[in-house]
Amino acid sequence: MNLDELTLVIGLGALVAGFLGSLTGLGGGVVIVPLLTLGFGVDLRYAIGASLVSVIATSSAAAAAYVRDGYSNLRIGMFLEVATTMGAVVGALLAARMPVSAVAIVFGAVLLWSAYLSLRHPAESARNPKPDRIATWLEMDSSCPTPRGPEPYHVAHVPLGWLIMAAAGALSGLLGIGSGALKVLAMDQVMRLPFKVSTTTSNFMIGVTAAASAGLYLKRGYIDPALAVPVILGVVAGATLGTRALVGARPAALRVVFVIVLIALGCQMMYHGLAGNFDRG
């Protein structure tokens, strides 16, 4: 495979990653890092650097459309970004000193457990949490567009959601992913937001989280433009397609896609973490 063919294949893989990241709120990094390291033998640190840049691109491409359409909750996103940014900086600082395979095993287990929780989660119509004192004080309660018109929702368990976001940020900086799985699940199951609000607000947040740690990777020289450019182009194209698909998608169908991706990535992360593949190179 020559350089042009390799660039094309990487770009196509990034397109798929961007589509899934935008549609589910996961961020493309969970696909990009395994694709580059295990599929193309790219050094893990450079794969993480390219992934972080692609996550920023995913968020930038998708967030504007979701905000315009009224899905993303900006107050929640900006409040939780404080936690994710702090966690991302800590994770990036630990990345050079901690065996990534050990973290990959834990992260894979978290993904599988998250998939299980998503499968047994109550239906959207069953949501009616009591208003949270902090959410009321910060005016986080809002409404979500539906085929029946805007439907109001309340936000619950803000402190617990904030702590989970800090952990998600740390994983983002450590593994070069958007940690959208934890972000979506924190908002969906802990804070009890509608699923579309969770995925779109996650997309709004992941770019800021990734930018906090991408600066440290750039300083260390781990962001290679020749690798990052096809990844960014593919991710932006995929994210654009994902935003168009999400508006007409049903929450139940989105949840199925979300669970399938979580299971596949969780098994992959655990397997290659146990094999030590993330520590090679």
Domain ranges of the chain: 3-279
Residue 162's pLDDT is 92
Picking from 20, 64, 37, 15, the residue whose alpha carbon sits closest to that of residue 184 is: 20
Q: What is the mean pLDDT of each run of 10 residues along the chain (281 residues)?
A: 81 82 66 76 81 76 74 89 86 74 74 71 53 86 84 89 87 68 80 85 79 78 88 83 74 73 79 72 48
Which 3 state secondary structure label does DSSP give 28? coil
Q: How far apart are CA 167 and CA 219, in angstroms?
A: 23
Would you list the DSSP string of 55-83? HHHHHHHHHHHHHHHT-S-HHHHHHHHHH
The pLDDT of residue 125 is 44
- Confidence (pLDDT) at 100: 67
Report pLDDT digits (tens) over 193-203.
888 888 888 87
SS3 20: helix
Chain CA centroid to CA 116, Å = 18
Any idea what DSSP says for residue 43? -
Residue type at 125 in one-letter notation: S
